[in-house]
Structure 1
Amino acid sequence: MERRPTIKDVAREAGVSKSTVSLVLQGSALVKAETRDHVQKVMAEIGYVYNRAAAKLRSGSTGLIGLVINDLRNPFFSELAASLQRSLSQQDYAAVVANTEEDPAQQQKMIKALIEHGVSAIVICPAYDDSGQALEPIARAGLPAIQVFRRVDDRLDLFPFAAPDYAEGGRLATEHLLAQGARKIAFVGGLEGRPVTQERASGHLKVMAERGQEPVVLAGASTRQFGREQAQVLASQYPDVDGVVCFNDLVALGLVAASAAQGRAIGSELRVVGVDDIEECAHSAPPLSSVSCRIPEFATHISDTLLGWLTQGPAPAPDVRLPVSLKVRASSGES
């Protein structure tokens, strides 16, 4: 069997140094365009193939990034994982995705497996783990890791946190509903006492307080089923509520479907806004207004931040909120 061509072979055939070939492989701007073209032509002629995995191993990096996601059945988190994977691949890193299904025990197994397989860093949207030890294996391994959307560890020097600006999203949604003519607005969904619930509700509650209105908060699971159930609760216990900001789109879609089945006119008699802007929002009946977390931009920020930390050393900012925007559709009385 013939020997595979090496960098030395490329350098000899091209009449350049090994370091020049290495710079071409790295895409360095230090190499003149004509030299780069010549070296690449020689590579093609002699059949040289760059072994990127071996190069990363030599540099102390496997080129693998672990993505630990709490629930891939939720379309929002599927989009997050896909966007992160796409953004990392553009920088020549591969993502290994682990779905924990909101199970702390499963999460521990997934983290352990990723560490054993030698990932270089981790992005984690964690399942809730009241032990306070969820990220301890990552700390012991000394891996860079960023918490996204949920914060379960307050050691932000070790595990910086990033999320969309949910407080601003709640404010935008509530002010929009008021501008559309809603007089009494409820916040529906999200487990009581969880920081992410409090943050998503905070902007809404602030606007309500400024208006001197008593809040109506119906806490619970972030699921379609909970949204369906709360449609009946609103109809029987809060008949004067004519606007709803939901914890997420799944709750909103469930609430809209059940409220419409009751005969309520969505978009006029009852106005509803979700959070996350999953793809289904634009295709539901009626289309659902939602606070967009701008996931492609969010994923690019996370991948750039993590890889910068991994390759250059400085730790990211400990707590970051990224911009959101409101996508107005028929469910809130599109104007």
Structure 2
Amino acid sequence: MNARPTQTDVAREAGVSRALVSMALTGTGRVAPQTRNRIRAAASRLGYARNLSAANLATSTSPVIGVILPYLRNPFFEDLVAVIGRNAEAAGLLPLLATASNEVDRERLTMRRFRELQVRGVITVSPAVPREELQDYGESLPLVVVGESGLGGLVDTVRLDEDAAATRLIGHLAGRGWSYIGYLYDDVFQRDRGLAGRRQALITAARRAGVELTVHRVEGGVADVVGRLCEDVRDRRTAIIGHNDLLATEIASAVRSHGLMVGTDVGVAGYDDTSLARRSQADLTSVGQSIAEQGEAAVGWIASRALDQEQPARHIATPPLLSVRSST
């Protein structure tokens, strides 16, 4: 915990939400008098005082927006950065890109560096740092988190509607006769909180569709997991979903290495609908994330919150765009 009490600490002390603390202490929104008094009493006990110097960072006139990515090798991030760049340029802003390798300490260091630069705001994608820390960061500068929801406080969030995406994808696979589905993810996603949401959405959608779905973590090579899933393809129609297109292309290669045909013997699908999925040699069925809408919202929210730091948190869940190709 930080040495200086934060609004998250006050919320915990008062037994209310972080967003309610923000409204009570800044005078924005409607808060019952009794609740407001309880929050102010908790703030007083903890010695909380609004960090005006940090809040002033939100009024920065710097044209720079910080963008923090887990890594660069996923084409989805490349596509998202391109969208952010176009929207930033239209708003007279300049994105400054950093990667943190899904490491909490590197994310903290990068966020601190961006604050020292007094950037206009920060867009962070699938962060590994705890949610409470993200709420604290949101007190000091405009912050948008891509791939999260419901952070509250002053943090705006945008992500794919995972439930709708899973329903579309599982419905498509079931409709094509794939009765057994394996969902694969690998170690790089261990700190991605979106993993749990996607996994549960797929499990729920499969149950509703009446198909069997199993979840598999790829700890070694993809080929070993795919080999086990393909043992009974002659007896059951098997499809395999990769957590993203990058993993799905590896799955497709592994299927072929076992002497099986993708789309005929084994179905393969991914998420993100990146350039990898669209390549003719892959031709992967994939769920797109409406990144144009995500990027536009993220940049727009940074610009608007820089003018009014205390407005309540906003969230959108973007609709899935299922692109059906020969792999299923």
Q: Show the counterpart of 1:279.
A: 275
User: Residues 288-331 of structure 1, C-alpha deviation per residue, up to 9 Å, x if partnerless?
Assistant: 11001122232112212221222255636443211111011111
User: Residues 128-160 of structure 1, C-alpha deviation per residue, up to 9 Å, x if partnerless?
Assistant: 236x664377346x2110111146xx6422222
Shift of 1:88: 0.9
The aligned amino acid for 2:285 is S
| 2:297 aligned with 1:301 | yes
The aligned amino acid for 1:87 is N
Quick one: distance in 2 between partners of 1:175 and 1:126? 27
The aligned amino acid for 1:201 is R
User: Residues 193-231 of structure 1, C-alpha deviation per residue, up to 9 Å, x if partnerless?
Assistant: 96412222333222321244443111347xxx7544421
Q: Show the counterpart of 2:117.
A: 117
1:175 to 157, 166, 171: 171
Name whichever of 314-323 and 266-275 sits farther off. Answer: 314-323
SS at the partner of 2:287?
A: strand
Quick one: distance in 1 between partners of 2:238 and 2:151? 42
Contact preservation (8 Å) 1:227, 1:252:
no
**CA separation of 1:91 and 1:189: change in aligned 2, threshold 3 A:** same
Q: 1:1-335 counterparts in 2 under 5 A?
A: 60-129=60-129, 134-135=133-134, 138-139=137-138, 142-150=140-148, 155-189=151-185, 191=189, 195-220=193-218, 227-236=222-231, 240=236, 242-312=238-308, 315=311, 317-332=313-328
The aligned amino acid for 2:143 is A
Name whichever of 120-129 and 166-175 sits farther off. Answer: 120-129
Q: Show the counterpart of 2:10.
A: none
User: Residues 78-136 of structure 1, C-alpha deviation per residue, up to 9 Å, x if partnerless?
Assistant: 22122112211111011111111212222122111111111021111144236x66437
The aligned amino acid for 1:105 is D
Quick one: distance in 1 between partners of 2:309 and 2:128? 29
5+ residue gaps, structure 1: 1-56
Name whichever of 313-322 and 86-95 sits farther off. Answer: 313-322
Quick one: distance in 2 between partners of 1:159 and 1:220? 33
Report the TM-score, using the length of structure 2 for normalisation. Answer: 0.73
Quick one: distance in 1 between partners of 2:318 and 2:312? 14
Report the TM-score, using the length of structure 1 for normalisation. Answer: 0.72
Quick one: distance in 1 between partners of 2:300 and 2:241? 32
Quick one: distance in 1 between partners of 2:237 and 2:195? 20
Structure with greater Cα Rg: 1
Quick one: distance in 2 between partners of 1:328 and 1:133? 39
Contact preservation (8 Å) 1:62, 1:118:
yes
5+ residue gaps, structure 2: 1-56
Quick one: distance in 1 between partners of 2:107 and 2:190? 22
**CA separation of 1:264 and 1:210: change in aligned 2, threshold 3 A:** same
Which structure carries more relative contact order (alpha carbon 8 Å, separation 6+)?
2
Contact preservation (8 Å) 2:178, 2:238:
yes
SS at the partner of 1:330?
A: coil
**CA separation of 1:258 and 1:72: change in aligned 2, threshold 3 A:** same
Name whichever of 294-303 and 209-218 sits farther off. Answer: 209-218
SS at the partner of 1:290?
A: strand
Quick one: distance in 2 between partners of 1:125 and 1:278? 16
The aligned amino acid for 2:134 is L
Shift of 1:189: 1.5
The aligned amino acid for 2:229 is L
Cα RMSD (Å): 2.7
SS at the partner of 1:215?
A: strand
Q: Give the ranges of 4+ consecutive aligned residues of structure 1 lying more than 6 Å apart after TM superposition.
A: none
Quick one: distance in 2 between partners of 1:192 and 1:103? 11
Contact preservation (8 Å) 2:272, 2:287:
yes
Q: Show the counterpart of 1:31.
A: none
SS at the partner of 2:230?
A: helix
